[in-house]
């Protein structure tokens, strides 16, 4: 059984489909979570701001105030709780846009309950124990190409100008840097950055790598630094 790491965690589900919302609430409550449901974006944003839940499950396609605007407003307000977005099958652009706005992960409809629960558990575990890689701390300044990473402040500069990375994009970049040019597999990245078990298969890593390349590489289609290791994973070339 998948359960919250310590004590009951509070989850806000923002979903306008009553059947889906009912199913999500039931399954999450069975696992020991405290669950509140908001059926539209306006109410969901209000409850997220006032109740400050431990995690938000956010449907993107909401009537009125859609999920993108809810997510943007939360991040602009400084709310840092994990947000798991629900996207429609085949809508790759929605996933990317959601991640750019600060979502921590996504699940594509229709999805399996066990997959959703595993992702929620992993996101909450990362909040409780954000770093458990066992290695030495990263140096205060890391460089590759025209990129500078200031680890104490989690700041990334490109040609001296700040680059806005989501928390997961930054953690992914740091994981690559810490391998010092060695390959890190997708499974290792899922475990280290997202806290997933090896059994969870996901394109999350590839999607985030694509975003890192878009933000940090001069030619994302032909990257010089964030390189693919065929059928294995990725490595960072300085």
pLDDT on residue 197: 64
CB 63 within 8 A of CB 16: yes
pLDDT above 90: percentage of residues in the chain: 46
Q: pLDDT digit string (tens) for 180-197? A: 899 999 888 988 888 876
CB 229 within 8 A of CB 183: yes
The answer on pLDDT for 134 being more than 60 is: no
Per-residue confidence band for 78, with pLDDT thresholds at 50, 70 and 90: confident
Q: pLDDT digit string (tens) for 16-28? A: 999 999 999 999 9
**Low-confidence winner among 7-16, 134-143, 194-203 (lowest mean pLDDT):** 134-143
Q: Provide mean pLDDT across the span 52-71.
A: 93
The phi and psi torsions of 65 (rounded to 5 degrees) equal -80, 105
Q: Tell me the residue ranges of DSSP E strands in 89-221.
A: 105-108, 141-144, 147-150, 155-158, 161-162, 184-185
In whole angstroms, give the CA distance from residue 238 to residue 235.
10
pLDDT on residue 225: 96
Q: pLDDT digit string (tens) for 88-103? A: 877 778 888 888 888 8
pLDDT on residue 162: 86
User: For residue 218, what is the DSSP state?
Assistant: S
pLDDT on residue 48: 96
User: For residue 82, what is the DSSP state?
Assistant: -
Residue with tokens 């809508």: 91
pLDDT on residue 128: 59
Instruction: Count CA atoms within 13 Å of residue 22 on its CB side.
Output: 3
In whole angstroms, give the CA distance from residue 160 to residue 32.
47
pLDDT on residue 199: 58
Q: Where are the alpha helices (DSSP H) in 31-166?
A: 41-51, 67-76, 92-100, 113-128
In whole angstroms, give the CA distance from residue 39 to residue 43.
7
Residue 12 neighbours by CB distance under 10 Å:
22
Per-residue confidence band for 33, with pLDDT thresholds at 50, 70 and 90: very high
Closest C-alpha among 215, 205, 216, 151 to residue 178: 151
Structural domains in the chain plus CATH codes: 10-128 (3.40.50.2300), 141-236 (1.10.10.10)
């Amino acid at each position: 059984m998948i359960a919250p790491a310590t004590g009951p965690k509070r989850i806000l589900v923002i979903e306008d489909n009553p059947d889906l919302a009912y199913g999500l609430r039931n399954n999450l409550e069975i696992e020991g979570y405290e669950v509140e449901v908001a059926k539209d974006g306006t109410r969901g944003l209000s409850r997220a701001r006032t109740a400050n839940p431990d995690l938000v499950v956010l449907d993107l396609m909401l009537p009125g105030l859609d999920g993108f605007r809810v997510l943007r407003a939360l991040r602009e307000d400084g709310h840092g709780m994990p947000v798991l977005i629900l996207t429609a099958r085949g809508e790759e652009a929605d996933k990317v846009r959601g991640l750019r706005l600060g979502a921590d992960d996504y699940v594509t409809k229709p999805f399996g309950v066990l997959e959703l629960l595993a992702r929620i558990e992993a996101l909450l575990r990362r909040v409780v124990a954000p770093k458990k890689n066992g290695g030495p701390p990263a140096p205060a300044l890391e460089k590759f190409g025209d990129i500078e990473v200031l680890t104490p402040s989690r700041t990334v500069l490109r040609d001296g100008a700040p680059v806005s990375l989501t928390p997961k994009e930054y953690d992914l970049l740091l994981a690559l840097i810490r391998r010092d040019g060695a390959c890190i597999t997708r499974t290792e990245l899922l475990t280290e950055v997202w806290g997933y078990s090896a059994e969870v298969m996901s394109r999350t890593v590839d999607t985030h790598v694509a975003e890192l390349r878009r933000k940090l590489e001069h030619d994302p289609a032909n990257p010089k630094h964030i390189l693919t290791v065929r059928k294995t994973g990725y490595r960072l070339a300085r």
